Amino acid sequence: MEVRAKKALGQHFLIDQKIAQDIVEALQVEGQVLEIGPGMGVLTQYLLQRDSLDLKLIEIDSESVSYLLKHYDTLKNRLIQGDFLKLKLEDIFHSNFSVIGNFPYNISSQIFFKILEHKDAVGQVVCMLQKEVAERIAEPAGTKAYGILSVLLQAWYDIEYLFTVSPNSFSPPPKVQSAVIRLKRNARKDLGVDEKLFKQIVKQAFNQRRKTLRNSLKSMINDYAIRSSWPLDRAEGSMLSEFCAKEIFSLRPEKLSVEDFIYLTDLFSLTNEK
Ligand code: SAH
């Protein structure tokens, strides 16, 4: 008996074995790995072949869990039945781990926000998701797809778009194209500015992405802050260093790199100190 695909759980089972192998091969790690949403185990079978991996799995669907336990008896103490978004990762992993999965597309952004909360433990992520979301995450500044998740993830991860997967590689086929991406934790230890303020600025700027920063960040800026001239030496490494600090506010958020958002956060902290 196969698992009956449930739409509400984002179940589209990958049926192309070559693609499954390529996804597992894209994971360049040893040690602890968490697979999110194994379904019927199309990736799991190849992950289990790698002796250097210490695999754990989380699957929300009881029918998939029964199927997996029946077909792979080595999964008994590794497979958790539950919701990844509610999983207490610190109870399961006491040191660094990596993440792999063909993510349920309806919650892929939430999965990434959770990974960001554990960015110092998660060394690498290889995942399949909806192509648009994959592009959004992987694209550099200046492109249309660039957004909140791109900035927040690119601050901490080097991100590669690996390949596109067409709907007919799945059963049932999804309505959208899919893509596989890889995220590798970069060397950044901290931002050098207040991280909460950084996130707040990024979110507020992109929530009104058609507006210039002067307008989207209005509630955070006072007139004094806009008029006063800020020290440009803070802009080192920023593509805006050639601009007057004031000009940053005439831009739209998609023009700003991670470094620019850090610079912007620094400007805000300075004026808050005054
Ligand atoms: N890896 C399988 C299945 C992908 S479909 C394959 O490639 O064929 C997405 C899987 O994620 C489904 O098995 C679904 O039941 C599971 N899932 C959905 N929401 C989940 C959640 N919140 N936590 C854990 N697993 C979830």
Closest residue by CA, ligand 1 atom 16: 37
Q: What is the pLDDT of residues 98-139, one digit of tens each?
A: 999 999 999 999 999 999 999 999 999 999 999 999 999 999
Query: Nearest 5°: phi and psi at 84?
Result: -55, -35
C-alpha angle 104-106-110 in degrees, rounded to nearest 5: 90
Q: How many residues does the chain have?
A: 274
How far apart are alpha carbons 184 and 256 in whole angstroms?
Answer: 22
* Prediction pTM value: 0.91
- What percentage of the chain exceeds 70 in pLDDT? 89
For 265, residues 6+ apart whose C-beta sits below 8 A from its C-beta are: 191, 193, 194, 197, 198, 201
How far apart are alpha carbons 44 and 56 in whole angstroms?
Answer: 10
Helix (H/G/I), strand (E/B), else coil: 75: helix
Tell which one of 33, 36, 92, 109 to mutate to probe ligand 1, the residue whose CB is within 8 A of the most ligand atoms: 36
Q: 11 pLDDT exceeds 70?
A: yes
Rounded distance from Cα 175 to ligand 1 centre (Å): 17
Closest residue by CA, ligand 1 atom 17: 37
Crossing angle for the helix pair 195-207 and 258-273, nearest 10 degrees?
110
Q: 233 pLDDT exceeds 90?
A: no
Q: 146 pLDDT exceeds 60?
A: yes
Give the binding-site residues of ligand 1, using a 6 Å CB cut-off.
9-14, 36-39, 42-43, 58-61, 64, 83-85, 102, 104, 107
Tell which one of 60, 128, 129 to mutate to probe ligand 1, the residue whose CB is within 8 A of the most ligand atoms: 60
For 243, residues 6+ apart whose C-beta sits below 8 A from its C-beta are: 235
Q: What is the pLDDT of residues 183-229, one digit of tens each?
A: 999 999 999 999 999 999 999 999 999 999 988 988 776 544 554 44
Closest residue by CA, ligand 1 atom 15: 61
Q: Which residues pair with 218 in a beta bridge?
A: none
Closest residue by CA, ligand 1 atom 11: 37
How far apart are alpha carbons 262 and 82 in whole angstroms?
Answer: 37
Rounded distance from Cα 180 to ligand 1 centre (Å): 15
Question: Is the peptide bond preceding residue 172 cis, with omega within 30 degrees of 0?
Answer: yes
Residue recorded with tokens 């960001």: 116
Rounded distance from Cα 6 to ligand 1 centre (Å): 10
Whole-number mean pLDDT of the chain?
A: 90
